[in-house]
Amino acid sequence: MEAVLVALVGLAMVGGLVALVLRRRAQVGGASAAVSQPDGRSAGAFGPTGLGTRIRALFARGQAAPWAELEDLLVRADVGPEAARSLVERVRARAAADGDPAALVREEVRAALGPAEPLRLPEGRLGVVLVVGVNGSGKTTTIGKLAWRLAREGRRVAVANADTFRAAAAEQLATWAERAGVQLVAQQRGADPGAVVFDAVTSARARGVDALLIDTAGRLHTKRPLMDELAKLRRVVEKAGAAVDETLLVLDAQTGQNGIAQARAFTEAVAVTGVVLTKTDGSARGGVVLSVRAGLGVPIRFVGVGEGPEDLLPFDPAAFAERLLA
Ligand SMILES: Nc1nc2c(ncn2[C@@H]2O[C@H](COP(=O)(O)OP(=O)(O)OP(=O)(O)O)[C@@H](O)[C@H]2O)c(=O)[nH]1
Ligand SMILES: [Mg+2]
């Protein structure tokens, strides 16, 4: 009897262990198959806008078709003049038949943003992400948070500091690499960014890294040689035997329409594949999301909602539209 009991307990323990191992594999595998799937939390990015309330109040006044006022409300929420005009046109065309303008605005915002488009990294070979943007937009912080997220999803991650211009840049990235538990490739200040990138790709390939995130120096879109340098870095990645899979443009949500104009120059100089909209935690003007989508034609991959490692959320358009027009 005792022997049977011992055998049963033993079996249960082995069973538990197997279940635990299987669960761990599923977690890692599941996460890496679907990189950064939207989790709906990005709806918390911007503070309450009150836009839905204002739109409903506008139409409740009984005044005949306040379309100009609606357009004005949208522009003030940073939607951007062109995107606001076309949004109002579409709502107006449907309003006679469909009723509730606030609900129509929400539907049209959703449609304008399209589906969620998470970061795309390859499976089974090195994925390279180049991170670009103007000074202080949040590039280094975004790399730190992204490294942290990808490492938590079970990927082997490395970060490279191609910002050899600013004295404190390497130190800042080193702190993030340590926090995220990922490998750092850096050289001394003043080194050629191309050389850093070549080294980083070579060493990442040798070590079987899954994702290499490259930080670049902040630059003004008006400085031609610096913009050309970004194109050069892309070629260096190729020379080292890899390819840039994603070029993320980091954009400060608080810079409004001026930021969009700068961003457009970036998309013209380098093949930007996605935008990371940072500092959305300090902004109530969520309309900037629409300006980015309409003005740049590039999907928003993530939103930054703070300075901590967990403060980078996959962008969820549906949840965002709900919240903007709540
Ligand atoms: N609140 C908040 N702060 C952020 C966010 N992203 C970045 N920051 C802060 O913005 C400041 C600039 O961030 P960096 O990551 O150094 O910006 P950068 O683009 O690398 O700057 P340069 O390398 O000088 O061009 C830092 O104080 C960050 O902590 C965010 O999503 N929310
Ligand atoms: Mg930086």
**For a pocket test of ligand 1, which of 46, 141, 262 has the largest count of ligand atoms closer than 8 A to its C-beta?**
141
Q: What is the pLDDT of residue 29?
A: 28
Q: Which atom of ligand 1 is nearest to the CA of 282?
A: 1
CA 109 / ligand 1 centre spacing (Å): 28
pLDDT at 133: 94
Question: Residue 262: what pLDDT?
Answer: 86
Question: Which of 133, 114, 144 has the alpha carbon at shortest distance from 290?
Answer: 114
Distance CA 124, CA 245 (A): 13
User: ∠ at Cα 263 (257, 269), nearest 5°?
Assistant: 150
144 lines ligand 1 (CB under 6 A): no
Give the nearest ligand 1 atom to 145 CA.
6
CA-based nearest residue to 219, from 155, 294, 165: 165
pLDDT digits (tens, 9 = 90+) for 163-191: 998 889 999 999 999 999 999 999 999 99
pTM of the model: 0.85
| CA dihedral of residues 308, 314, 316, 322 (deg, nearest 10) | 0
Residue 72: the pLDDT is: 94
What's residue 256's pLDDT?
84
Atom of ligand 1 nearest to the CA of 141: 15
How far is it, in rounded angstroms, from Cα 4 to Cα 181? 46
CB 91 within 8 A of CB 73: no
- What is the Cα–Cα distance from 147 to 249, expressed in whole angstroms? 16
289-325 pLDDT, tens per residue? 988 888 888 999 999 999 999 999 999 999 888 888 8
User: Which residues of the chain have a pLDDT value below 50?
Assistant: 1, 4-43
Query: Cα(12) to centroid of ligand 2, in Å?
Result: 52
Q: What is the pLDDT of residue 193?
A: 96
Residue 144 CA: which ligand 1 atom is closest? 15
The protein residue whose alpha carbon is closest to atom 13 in ligand 1 is 138
